[in-house]
Amino acid sequence: MDAVGWRLRPAKRIDSRLSGGDVPEAAIRVKHLTKSFGPQTILEDITMDIPKGAITVVLGPSGTGKSVFLKHLVGLLKPDSGEVWVGDQNVPALSEKELYAVRKRFGVLFQDGALFGSMDIYDNTAFPLREHTRKSDSEIRQIVMEKLDLVGLVGAEKKLPGEISGGMKKRAGLARALVLEPEIILFDEPDSGLDPVRTSFLNELVLDLKQQLGSTMMIVTHHIPSARQVADYIGLLFRRNLVSFGPKEDMFTSKDPVVKQFLAGDTVGPIGMSEEKDAPAADDEDTEETSEIVVRAASG
């Protein structure tokens, strides 16, 4: 079994306590992942082992590349360099056919929900089962209705995505992500557009899933109380880098200025108002310590 190597540059103060028996097994190993779009480098040399059977929450200012990162894990984007290992397969190196097989292990809820507009909620939810399994219609019905019940959408099966609210679309996407009972679940801002009560239900659901399926989950959210409630591990993306990654408790007691500011939602600190625009050039601060990032007030 693979041990997780916590080889993270600025995050090493947090992770250094994890050694020997404390080191979790990895479900996905990301190595030196770098991605640019045109002249803009979005992710730079990201190395991260995503712990198996645990919930990892990914935080970071808008536009830092959280969604781009998730898309690399399922091969929807190819890195300029670096590797993404799921078991013994390096996702960027796979053929379409191999990729198809690897994707069966994932349940994914993307930020935009991505339901098929012309299919009703039932057919949207049933889609992965019809696509990837040989289950009978009645078996499919049982699974679909169970998942729709889980997300509170029984009664809405016949509705088209255009006829339901944003929150309901999220939950339909969630049901669809779960029908194959995946080993690995990726949620990209599952709680955006949900009211606080729905968000709490969603968090309970996530914790139930971890318990019932033992799935590895990676959740992108901006909702710090959710991170506090569900995370086992928290990673923070900031200016192309994974600036910190470690057990939740360590992150919430971290002295790192970026981590502290983000978790507290403070306006004063290294994170500015329009982060992706006013970040200094790549080479300036990509060194050993995040504290090298100049501290300044957010609004000027």
Ligand X SMILES: Nc1ncnc2c1ncn2[C@@H]1O[C@H](COP(=O)(O)OP(=O)(O)O)[C@@H](O)[C@H]1O
As measured in angstroms, the least distance from the Cβ of 48 to Mg ion is: 17
As measured in angstroms, the least distance from the Cβ of 67 to Mg ion is: 3
Residue type at 262 in one-letter notation:
F
User: Hey, which residues between 214 and 243 contact ligand X (CB under 6 A)?
Assistant: none
d(CA 50, CA 53) in angstroms, rounded, equals: 9
From the list 61-69, 255-263, 267-275, 282-290, the region that binds Mg ion by CB under 5 A is 61-69
Cα-based distances in Å from 114 to 23, 169, 222: 36, 9, 20
As measured in angstroms, the least distance from the Cβ of 123 to ligand X is: 28
User: Hey, which residues between 82 and 111 contact Mg ion (CB under 5 A)?
Assistant: 111
d(CA 97, CA 94) in angstroms, rounded, equals: 8
24 binds ligand X (CB under 6 A): no
Question: Measured from the CB atom, is 108 or 144 closer to Mg ion?
Answer: 108
Residues 6+ apart with CB under 8 A from 69: 33, 43, 46, 58, 237
Residue type at 83 in one-letter notation:
E
67 binds Mg ion (CB under 5 A): yes
Considering only 56, 67, 124, 125, the residue that binds ligand X (CB under 6 A) is: 67
Given CA atoms 48, 60, 174, 56 in this order, what sign does their dihedral have?
positive
As measured in angstroms, the least distance from the Cβ of 126 to ligand X is: 28
User: Hey, which residues between 32 and 61 contact ligand X (CB under 6 A)?
Assistant: 37, 42, 60
CB 93 within 8 A of CB 241: no
68 binds ligand X (CB under 6 A): yes
Crossing angle (nearest 10°) for helices 121-132 and 137-150: 130
Question: Measured from the CB atom, is 192 or 200 closer to ligand X?
Answer: 192
166 binds ligand X (CB under 6 A): no
**Cβ-based burial of 51 (10 A; exposed 0-12, middle 13-18, buried ≥19):** buried
Site string for ligand X, 249-288 (x = CB under 6 A): ---------------------------x------------
In order, the DSSP letters of 208-274 are HHHHHH--EEEEE-S-HHHHHHH-SEEEEEETTEEEEEEEHHHHHT---HHHHHHHHT-SEES--TT
Considering only 29, 31, 66, 171, the residue that binds ligand X (CB under 6 A) is: 66
As measured in angstroms, the least distance from the Cβ of 189 to ligand X is: 8
User: If binding means CB under 6 A, how many residues of this protein chain bind ligand X?
Assistant: 11
As measured in angstroms, the least distance from the Cβ of 208 to Mg ion is: 25
Considering only 56, 64, 261, 290, the residue that binds ligand X (CB under 6 A) is: 64
Sites of contact with Mg ion (CB under 5 A) = 66-67, 111
Give the binding site for ligand X (CB under 6 A). Answer: 37, 42, 60, 62-68, 276
